[in-house]
């Protein structure tokens, strides 16, 4: 039998039902794995050894039948867990312990999941490499000299390195899918409104969405089934029934119409990535899917629109962090205004300051219409592009990232180069669509490559169908990094 930590959630559930082991055995195995490996990946900001053991012992005796009973889950550090430090990997929130659980955390607990700890991330989710954390950069398990992707880099690295079974991330411009791609795991960004954002510390409220990071597509469907659904605490949560996603896990794509946008296959994409994506498309075509080239003509404006809309919302959301009621407060202030200045200057990192300044600028008098309003109009055009494409196709296939994981420090001083890492994922957030990334190959340096499948609003079922069919006809998801 494979080691406990190397198994998927659905495999662990089967083993527990057979009586092979109890939740306490799972937790002890995972905690030992974290102790051995996390010094190399630095995936976690907090590990809940005592509380996870206590939860597991309770499940040992209760025999809970919840959908995730006894399954360990890691939580990104921008999702609130009652009584546990939640910092968004920022100095300004050091010591903040939420008095409530995020809705997704509440649903995980109700399903019997065991919360292993909080995972590292780019500060306030501002980044594509997991290097802007106030703690330390997370490292890619496939090559610890390289980044794991961001901003949910800690969650993706923890899943890839078998330091957890499941993880939650958040996706504002690709922050689930891009690190999933670079770490060789599965990352799903649900439709905006499918999963409650209550208890997610906001980056850009019209773009943020919580989603699963898992070892395979079946686990992604399992975890989404638990966290999805309407929530009265979130005004953006949509009141629609949650399908049985397991029924979408069928191994056939006959009759499925796949669109391939010509704008996503242009200069700048790594030739190795391009070859892997084309092979994946050819495989699905050979399995019975119809493939046609489509156009998303406003794609070239997506990055510019995003880096106006997202920082504008971020500057507004981060205005509340001022050192008055919680978190870090700078000392030595002469008066209230001086305290604000000192606290925010010392509490925020460089990338956070950059985005706050950008956002404040585009919202300021005289520039609002020239920048923010125009970016919102472009966003509408991008959504219309997808709406038009989905009249003819069922899903769209693209690369997740134009390159595999780059080296730590390589792009940290070049913000534009860093921002371009998300060029293939950002349009999905602007349009509020669901998308999944799954492994589809490796570079010559043995670095994972991700395939992105984009779906219609609230049609995660088609994503699971296409992704599961591809996954079950390849072995990429079975490969694990050799980190010991």
Q: Could you give the residue numbers annotated as active site?
A: 76, 151, 175
Q: Compute the radius of gyration of the chain from its Cα atoms.
A: 21
Q: How far is the CA of 170 from the CAs of 175, 205, 243, in angstroms?
A: 6, 12, 21
Tally the residues of the chain: 484
CA distance 118 to 29: 18
**DSSP bridge pairs for 46:** 118
Describe the crossing of helices 217-227 and 9-17 by its angle, rounded to 10 degrees. 80
Q: Find how far residue 137's CA is from the centre of its chain.
A: 17
Q: Find how far residue 28's CA is from the centre of its chain.
A: 26
**For residue 151, is the peptide bond before it cis, meaning its omega torsion is within 30 degrees of 0?**
yes
Residue 450: closest CA among 402, 482, 417? 402
**DSSP bridge pairs for 186:** 214
Q: Which residues lie closer than 8 Å to 364 by C-beta, 6 or more apart?
A: none
Q: From edge to edge, which strands make up the β-sheet containing 257-261?
A: 44-47, 114-119, 72-76, 166-171, 209-214, 186-189, 435-442, 448-455, 395-399, 257-261, 290-294
**DSSP bridge pairs for 146:** 407
Q: What are phi and psi of 22, to 5 degrees?
A: -110, 170
Residue 432: closest CA among 238, 206, 210, 176? 206
CA distance 281 to 260: 9
């Amino acid at each position: 039998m494979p080691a406990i930590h190397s198994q998927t959630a659905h495999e662990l559930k089967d083993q527990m039902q057979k009586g092979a082991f109890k939740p306490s055995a799972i937790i002890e195995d995972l905690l030992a794995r974290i102790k051995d490996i996390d010094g190399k990946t630095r995936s976690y900001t907090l590990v809940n050894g005592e509380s996870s053991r206590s939860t597991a012992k309770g499940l040992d005796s209760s025999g809970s039948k919840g959908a995730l009973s006894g399954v360990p889950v890691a939580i990104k550090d921008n999702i609130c867990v009652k009584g546990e430090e939640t910092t968004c990997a920022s100095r300004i929130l050091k010591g903040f312990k939420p008095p409530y659980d995020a809705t997704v955390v509440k649903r995980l607990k109700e399903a019997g999941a065991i919360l292993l700890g909080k995972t590292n991330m780019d500060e306030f989710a501002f980044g594509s490499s997991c290097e802007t954390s106030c703690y330390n950069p997370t490292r890619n398990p496939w090559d610890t000299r390289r980044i794991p992707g961001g901003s949910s880099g800690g969650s993706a690295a923890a899943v890839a390195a078998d330091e957890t079974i499941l993880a939650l991330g958040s996706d504002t411009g690709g922050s689930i899918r891009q690190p999933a791609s670079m770490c060789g795991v599965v990352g799903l960004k649900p439709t905006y409104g499918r999963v409650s954002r209550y208890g997610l510390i906001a980056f850009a409220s019209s773009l943020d969405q919580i989603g699963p990071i898992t070892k395979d597509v079946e686990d992604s469907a399992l975890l989404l089934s638990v966290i999805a659904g309407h929530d009265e605490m979130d005004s953006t949560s949509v009141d629609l029934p949650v399908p049985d996603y397991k029924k979408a896990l069928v191994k056939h794509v006959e009759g499925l119409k796949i669109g391939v946008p010509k704008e996503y296959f242009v200069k700048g994409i790594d030739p190795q990535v391009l070859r892997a994506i084309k092979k994946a498309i050819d495989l699905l075509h050979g399995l019975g899917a119809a493939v046609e080239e489509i156009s998303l003509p406003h794609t070239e404006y997506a990055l510019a629109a995003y880096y106006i809309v997202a920082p504008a919302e971020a500057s507004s959301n981060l205005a509340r962090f001022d050192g008055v009621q919680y978190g870090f407060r700078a000392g030595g202030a002469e008066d209230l205004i001086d305290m604000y200045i000192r606290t925010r200057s010392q509490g925020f990192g460089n990338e956070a300051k950059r985005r706050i300044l950008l956002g404040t600028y585009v919202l300021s008098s005289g520039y609002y219409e020239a920048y923010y309003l125009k970016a919102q109009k472009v966003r509408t055009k991008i959504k219309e592009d997808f709406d038009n494409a989905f009249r003819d196709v069922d899903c769209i296939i693209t690369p997740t990232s134009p390159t595999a994981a780059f080296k730590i420090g390589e792009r940290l001083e070049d913000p534009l180069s860093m921002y371009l890492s998300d060029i293939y994922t950002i349009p999905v957030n602007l349009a509020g669509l669901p998308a999944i990334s799954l492994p589809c190959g490796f570079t010559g340096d043995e670095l994972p490559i991700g395939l992105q499948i984009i779906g219609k609003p609230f049609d995660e079922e088609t994503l699971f169908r296409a992704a599961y069919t591809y996954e079950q006809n390849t072995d990429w998801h079975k490969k694990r990094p050799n980190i010991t």
